Structure 1
Amino acid sequence: MARNPERRTALLDAAIQVLADEGARGLTFRAVDARAGAPTGTSSNYFRDRDQVLSEAADRIFVRLTPAPDVIDAALLPAPSRALVVELMRQLAQRLAAERACYLGLFELRLEAVRRPELRTQLTKVLRTDLDENIRLHLASGMPGDADSVRLLYFALTGLLFDHFTVPGLHGDRDLDDLIETVVTRIVPEL
């Protein structure tokens, strides 16, 4: 297997873009090579099979979506409040919009995981780690609500953002920021 880490990352980023644009069924070594602008056969030098590409793409998505620790620290500087939770959820939506391919690629991976038990195991681990870290941060920072509040925000915002990215007209003229505020206000209690 080839060992150029920058090339490997570029191939994974290309795989994520293929997932977002063409779906999991369109993810082939040839499609990844073409999207990365690499010679045909390059991906097969870095990944033993398609399952490895899917699994490593899941990991790469979370690397791209996870803010740097200093960004998290700065976001949590203001006093804990429901208004801060609203602002943090809006920032999350902005980050996901900036990484739209990652978010759509993640949904493609979720659908593919239904048919691939190994991918399901990997994706469950990655998603659980992310959710657990969000719960830990929420509770440690003194934000209003409990672990179930974070879970409910996760469920609601996952669906809201999925709608926003896939069928943006579904909610009519409702602004995404306003919808986020409504979700948070209904789930997170006042301090």
Structure 2
Amino acid sequence: MARQNPQRRAALVDAAIEVLAREGARGLTFRAVDTAAAVPTGTASNYFANRDDLLTQAGGRIYERLQPDATTIAAGVAGPRNRARVTELMQDLVDRISAFRTGYLALLELRLEATRRPELRAVLTERIRADVDANVAYHLDSGLPGDATSVVTLYLAMNWLIVEHLTLPDVFPPEDMRGLIAAVVDRVLPPD
């Protein structure tokens, strides 16, 4: 295999995410990725051993792009440690994920595909478990209200709210999102 360009690999994986979001897992082919990345036919097959490799790489890249930067993480623990602050953090989460809509939709496709592909399931399980554990640790270490179960409950509620928001936005119109997020936090966390 020829020496590979890391920027081109990243562009191919980003193109795979876009294909997943637009076409679903069945539409994810090397040719579709080449077309989406605007590279010569056969380029993706030179960078990825097989389709499973491409799916796994896409799953990892989605999390890289969704991960908040260090400034955002540090700002998350600034200010009061109360339900209002948690509500702000949940709103920031929804906003950040909404800004990368195709990434989240691609992740949903990967989750469905993982039910049929044990290697992908193992990768996603490890990544998502680590993400949940990191969120619990961040929350508890920062002194925000609630316990580990509260964080997991918020994780589950926010994920489904995001699914509705990104896939069927008319179920809960965008103008209702802030109120819904506040209601979830108020019901999950203990009073201040």
TM-score (normalised: structure 1):
0.97
Q: Distance in 2 between matches of 1:91 and 1:4?
A: 34
Name stretches of at least 5 consecutive residues in structure 1 with no aligned partner: none
Other structure's SS at 2:22 match: helix
Structure 1, residues 35-55: CA drift from partner, whole Å, max 9, x if none? 000110000110000000000
Question: How far apart are the structure 2 equivalents of 1:17 and 1:169?
Answer: 23
Provide the secondary structure at the position in 2 that maps to 1:79. Answer: coil
- Name the structure 2 match of 1:58: 59
What does residue range 1-191 of structure 1 map to in structure 2 within 5 Å? Answer: 1=1, 2-171=3-172, 175-191=176-192
Aligned-pair CA distance for 1:58:
0.6
TM-score under structure 2 normalisation?
0.96
Aligned residue identity for 2:86: V
The letter of the residue matching 1:142 is: G
1:71–1:171 Cα change, 3 Å: closer
Q: Return the alpha-carbon distance in structure 1 between the equivalents of residues 6 and 173 of structure 2.
A: 44
Would the alpha carbon gap of residues 158 and 173 (structure 1) be closer, same or farther in structure 2, given more than 3 Å must change? Answer: closer
CA RMSD of aligned residues (A): 1.1
- Give 1:173 deviation, angstroms: 7.6
What CA deviation, in whole Å up to 9, does each residue of 1:115-150 have, x standing for no partner?
A: 101100000011011111000000000010000101
SS in 1 for 2:159: helix
The Cα of 1:75 is off from its aligned counterpart by: 2.0
Q: 1:67, CA displacement in angstroms? A: 0.7
Q: Once superposed, which parts of structure 1, at least 4 consecutive aligned residues long, lie more than 2 Å away?
A: 171-174
The one-letter code of the counterpart of 1:55 is: T
Secondary structure of the residue aligned to 2:39 is: coil
Give aligned pairs, total: 191
What displacement does 1:172 show? Answer: 5.5
3-state DSSP of counterpart to 1:70: helix
